[in-house]
C-alpha cells in the first residue's frame, strides 16, 4: 500500500512529485506529504486526507526545489494523522524518507533506539528507518542506507534524501514495487509506472535487494553488499491518455467502457478461431508438461478470486484437469497438498497483493509449477512466477476492479482452451466454437454498453434499499458473488451472493418485499433451475431484477426488472453477465453520492497481509 514518488533534475521537483502522487492516490489516500532540500535545508509539508489538502497546504506555504520525494499513505502502523504522515525524518532533520511497506521488527528496533535516548514523533514503523540511517551516516547516504537495510526485516520501497548530499536520492526495494524513470538530465522514482508516464518512457524495475542512487544524470544500482547490479531499461508503451479519465466522470466508468478493447487486447495474437489455434507465447508448457499436470490450484484475493472460481469450470470442462480455487490468505496458512505435478495459478491485477505473492512463494517452495495471470508488467508476482499471462488491460485506477476482472476471465479462458488443445480433450470443432464465442465477446459488450440506460434506471429505483441478494448458479454463481462485492465496496450497501440452489437451505428467510434479488438467468444448462429459484424468491415478495439473454422473450412477462445481455455460450457468459452488475454498482454508488473511485477504507493494491 502507499505510493511514493521522487524527482531530481532541472524542473520544479514539487510539481513533478505532486503530479505523480495524483496518479498514485489509488494506492492510499489517508494522508500525503512531500519533502525537498533547498539551500541546505530540509523542508516538509504534510496533510491528512486526500492530496488536494496537501496541494492547498503548499499553496499557502510554497515550496520549490530541484529534488523532492513524496508519499501518499494508506495507514498500517498508526492512525491517519499529520504526525504519522510521510515523509519522516531523523531527530536532527538531516535525513528524510518515504516508505511503502512494513518493518516487521520495528518494535524491537524502536526500543533499541529509545534506549540510546532517541525520541520518536510518530507511531509509524517508518520512523525507525530514518533514525537508523542517521545513526549509520558517517560517510555517504548510500552506505548508511545499506547498513540500515541489513537490520530491517519486512517489506519496503524507500526513497531517501539527506540535506548534506542535496544532489542525490537513494532508493531501495524489498517486496514492494519501485520503478526508476530514466530521463535526460533528470531521473525519477515511483511505486508504479502510471506516476511517471508523462515524463519518462524508459523504466528500470528494481528487484528485491536493490539499492539505487539517483543523481540528475546518473543511476547506480547495487545490492546491500555494494556489488553493482545491471538492470535492463524497458521502454514502456502504455499510452499516457490511458491513465487519464478521457472525459468520463469516474475512472471506474471509463474502465467499464474500455472492456471491449481490453478483452480484445488480452486475446489479440493469442487465438485464431478459424484455425482452431491458441498460441500463448509466454507460457512455455509443452503438450507433455500439460499432460503431466495432475491438478490445478487457482489462488487469488477478492475480485481476482472470483475470476478463479469461474475458471474452475473451464479447466474442468475443457481441459479435464481437477481444479481447486482458494483465497490466498487461506491457502497460505492451511498446508495445502502440493507437489511438482500441481500447477498453481495466481491471479492478480496489481501483481503486488501480499497474500497472493506469499501463496506463490509457498507453491514454489513445494516444487509446483507456477503461472501468474497479471495486469501490471514487471510487478513482483509477474517476475516471480514461472510463467505469466498478462491481461493487457492498461492501468486500472478505479479501486473497484472491472476491466482487470474481465481480462482475467479472458486470459484464463484462453489458457483452459490451450490446455484442452494440448491434451486433446476437446474436439477441433468444439475448440473452434469456443474460440469464436470469445472472439465475439468484445462486439457484444460494445453493443450492450451502447444501450445500457436501463441499468441506470434500475439503479436509481433501488439505490435506497438497505440489503441486496445476488443469485447465480453453475458458472455464473461466481458472478453473483462478484456483483455483490461490487455493490458492497462501492455503495456500502449490504449485499450477499448466493448459489441460487442454496436459498432453501436458509437464506430464503431473508427475503421480504423490501429485498431486491438480482439474479443471473442467462440461457444455459441450468436456465430452468434458476428460473424456479427466482419464482421462489418472488413468491416470498422479493423484488426481482434479472440479467437475461436477449432472446429470452418469455421473461419479459413475468413482472421482473429485466436487463438483457447479448446471447452467448454459457462458458463465456460470465464475461458478459458481469458488465451490467458492474454498472449497477457504479450507478447506485453515484446515486448515493459515494466516492466511486476511492471507496472508504479501501486501497487499490493490498501489499500488506
- Contact residues toward ligand F6R (CB under 6 A) are 301-304, 348-350, 353, 356, 400-401, 489, 605-606
Nearer of residues 65 and 397 to ligand F6R, judged by Cβ: 397
Cβ distance to ligand F6R smaller for residue 99 or 403: 403
How does strand 234-235 pair with strand 211-214?
A: unpaired
State how far the Cα of 591 lies from the Cα of 277, in Å rounded to an integer. Answer: 45
Closest-approach residue to ligand F6R (CB): 302
Question: Measured between alpha carbons, how far is 371 from 386 in angstroms, rounded to an integer?
Answer: 6
DSSP letter for each residue of 374-443? ESSTT-HHHHHSSEEEE-------SSS-SHHHHHHHHHHHHHHHHHHHHHT-S-HHHHHHHHHHHHHHHH
Q: Does the N-terminal peptide bond of residue 457 adopt cis geometry, omega within 30 degrees of 0?
A: no
- Match 498453481 to its residue by C-alpha cell: 344
The least distance separating ligand F6R from the CB of residue 102, rounded to whole angstroms, comes to 17
Q: Residues 585, 491: contact at Cβ < 8 Å?
A: yes
Order of all β-strands in the sheet with 295-300: 323-327, 295-300, 342-348, 369-374, 387-390
Q: Smallest distance, Å, CB 404 to ligand F6R?
A: 6
Cβ 436 to ligand F6R shortest distance, Å: 29
- C-alpha torsion angle, residues 260, 263, 269, 273 (rounded to 10): -80
CA distances from 414 to 101, 278, 418, 419, 475 (A): 35, 7, 6, 9, 16
- Within 28-140, strands assigned E span 31-38, 41-48, 67-73, 88-89, 95-103
Instruction: Tell me the torsion sign for CA atoms 38, 39, 44, 50.
Output: negative
Which is closer to ligand F6R, CB of 304 or CB of 565? 304
**Residue 149 CA: distances (Å) to CA of 130, 132, 224, 379, 411:** 11, 9, 7, 21, 38
In the complex, minimum distance from the CB of residue 409 to ligand F6R, in angstroms, rounded to a whole number? 13
Tell me the closest approach of the beta carbon of residue 197 to ligand F6R, in angstroms.
19
Annotated active-site residue in 163, 312, 422, 604: 604
In the complex with ligand F6R, the residue whose CB is nearer, 350 or 573, is: 350
Shortest approach of ligand F6R to residue 327 CB, angstroms?
Answer: 10
Cβ at position 601, least distance to ligand F6R in Å: 12
- The full 3-state SS of 478-526, as one line of letters, equals HHHHHHHHHHHHHHCCEEEEEEHHHHHHCHHHHCCCCCEEEEEECCCCC
Q: Which is nearer to ligand F6R, 216 or 582 (CB)?
A: 582
| Selected catalytic residue, list 2, 162, 368, 568 | 2
Q: How far is the CB of 19 from ligand F6R (least distance, A)?
A: 24
DSSP-derived secondary structure for 244-298: S-TT-SSHHHHHHHTHHHHHHHHHTTTEETTTTEE--TT----HHHHHT--EEEE
Question: Going by C-beta distance under 8 Å and a sequence separation of 6 or more, which residues neighbour residue 506?
Answer: none
Closer to ligand F6R by Cβ: residue 35 or 377: 377
CB-based contacts of 464: which residues, under 8 Å, 6+ apart?
Answer: none
Query: Measured from the CB of residue 608, what is the shortest distance to ligand F6R in angstroms?
Result: 11
In angstroms, the Cα distances linking 345 to 295, 327, 562 are 11, 12, 36
Q: Whose Cβ is closer to ligand F6R: residue 136's or residue 248's? A: 248
Closest CA to 4 of 80, 99, 140, 79: 99
Residue 351's Cβ-count burial label (10 Å; 0-12, 13-18, 19+) is buried
Residue number, 566 or 599, with CB nearest to ligand F6R: 599
C-alpha 125/C-alpha 109 separation (Å) is 9
465 among known catalytic residues: no
Compute the C-alpha angle 104/206/148, nearest 5°. 40
DSSP 566: -
CB 193, min distance to ligand F6R, A: 15
Q: Which H helix or E strand runs over 53?
A: helix 51-60
Q: How far is CA 375 from the centre of its chain?
A: 8
237 annotated active-site: no
* For ligand F6R, the closer CB: 348 or 382: 348
If the CB atoms of residues 175 and 213 are measured against ligand F6R, the closer one turns out to be 175
The residues assigned a catalytic role are 2, 604
Amino acid at each position: 500500500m502507499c505510493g511514493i514518488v521522487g524527482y531530481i533534475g532541472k524542473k520544479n521537483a514539487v510539481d513533478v512529485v505532486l503530479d505523480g502522487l495524483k496518479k498514485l492516490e489509488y494506492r492510499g489516500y489517508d494522508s500525503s506529504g512531500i519533502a525537498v532540500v533547498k539551500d541546505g535545508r530540509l523542508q516538509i509539508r504534510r496533510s491528512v486526507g486526500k492530496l488536494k489538502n496537501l496541494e492547498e497546504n503548499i499553496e499557502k506555504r510554497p515550496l520549490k526545489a530541484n529534488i523532492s520525494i513524496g508519499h501518499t499513505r494508506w495507514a498500517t502502523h498508526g492512525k491517519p494523522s499529520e504526525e504519522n504522515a510521510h515523509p519522516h525524518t531523523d531527530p536532527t532533520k538531516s535525513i528524510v524518507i518515504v516508505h511503502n511497506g512494513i518493518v516487521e521488527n520495528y518494535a524491537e528496533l524502536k526500543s533499541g533506539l529509545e534506549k540510546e535516548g532517541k525520541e520518536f514523533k510518530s507511531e509509524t514503523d517508518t520512523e525507525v528507518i530514518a533514525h537508523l540511517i542517521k545513526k549509520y551516516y558517517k560517510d555517504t547516504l548510500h552506505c548508511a542506507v545499506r547498513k540500515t537495510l541489513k537490520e530491517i526485516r519486512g517489506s519496503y520501497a524507500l526513497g531517501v534524501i539527506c540535506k548534506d548530499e542535496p544532489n542525490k536520492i537513494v532508493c531501495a526495494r524489498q517486496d514492494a514495487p519501485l520503478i526508476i524513470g530514466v530521463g535526460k538530465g533528470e531521473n525519477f522514482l515511483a511505486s508504479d509506472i502510471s506516476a511517471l508516464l508523462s515524463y519518462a518512457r524508459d523504466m528500470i524495475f528494481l528487484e528485491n535487494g536493490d539499492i539505487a542512487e539517483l543523481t540528475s544524470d546518473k543511476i547506480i544500482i547495487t545490492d546491500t553488499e555494494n556489488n553493482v547490479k545491471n538492470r535492463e531499461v524497458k521502454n514502456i508503451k502504455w499510452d499516457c491518455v490511458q491513465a487519464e479519465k478521457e472525459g468520463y466522470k469516474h475512472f471506474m466508468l471509463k474502465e467499464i467502457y474500455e472492456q471491449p478493447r481490453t478483452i480484445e487486447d488480452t486475446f489479440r495474437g493469442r487465438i485464431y478461431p478459424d484455425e482452431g489455434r491458441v498460441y500463448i507465447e509466454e507460457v512455455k508448457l509443452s503438450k507433455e508438461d500439460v499432460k503431466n499436470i495432475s491438478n490445478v490450484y487457482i489462488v487469488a484475493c477478492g475480485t481476482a478470486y472470483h475470476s478463479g472460481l469461474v475458471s474452475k469450470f473451464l479447466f474442468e470442462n475443457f481441459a479435464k484437469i481437477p481444479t481447486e480455487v482458494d483465497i490466498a490468505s487461506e491457502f497460505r496458512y492451511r498446508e495445502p497438498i502440493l507437489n511438482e505435478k500441481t500447477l498453481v495459478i495466481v491471479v492478480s491485477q496489481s501483481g503486488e497483493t501480499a497474500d497472493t505473492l506469499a501463496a506463490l512463494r509457498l507453491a514454489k517452495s513445494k516444487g509446483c509449477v507456477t503461472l501468474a495471470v497479471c495486469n501490471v508488467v514487471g510487478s513482483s508476482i509477474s517476475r516471480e512466477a514461472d510463467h505469466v499471462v498478462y491481461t493487457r488491460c492498461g492501468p486500472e485506477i478505479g479501486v473497484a476492479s472491472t476491466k482487470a476482472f474481465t481480462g482475467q476471465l479472458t486470459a484464463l479462458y484462453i489458457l483452459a482452451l490451450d490446455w484442452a488443445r494440448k491434451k486433446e480433450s476437446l474436439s477441433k470443432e468444439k475448440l473452434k466454437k469456443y474460440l469464436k464465442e470469445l472472439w465475439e465477446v468484445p462486439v457484444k459488450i460494445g453493443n450492450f454498453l451502447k444501450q445500457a440506460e436501463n441499468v441506470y434506471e434500475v439503479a436509481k429505483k433501488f439505490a435506497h434499499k438497505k440489503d441486496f441478494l445476488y443469485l447465480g448458479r453453475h458458472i455464473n454463481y461466481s458472478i453473483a458473488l462478484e456483483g455483490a462485492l461490487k455493490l458492497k465496496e462501492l455503495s456500502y450497501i449490504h449485499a450477499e451472493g448466493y448459489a441460487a440452489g442454496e436459498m432453501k437451505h436458509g437464506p430464503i428467510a431473508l427475503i421480504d418485499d423490501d429485498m431486491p434479488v438480482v439474479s443471473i438467468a442467462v440461457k444455459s444448462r441450468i436456465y430452468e433451475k434458476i428460473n424456479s429459484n427466482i419464482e421462489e424468491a418472488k413468491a416470498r415478495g422479493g423484488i426481482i431484477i434479472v440479467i437475461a439473454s436477449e432472446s429470452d422473450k418469455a421473461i419479459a412477462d413475468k413482472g421482473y426488472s429485466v436487463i438483457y445481455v447479448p446471447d452467448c455460450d454459457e462458458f463465456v457468459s460470465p464475461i458478459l453477465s458481469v458488465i451490467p452488475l458492474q454498472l449497477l454498482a457504479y450507478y447506485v454508488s453515484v446515486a448515493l453520492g459515494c466516492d466511486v473511485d476511492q471507496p472508504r477504507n479501501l486501497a487499490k493494491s493490498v501489499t500488506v497481509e
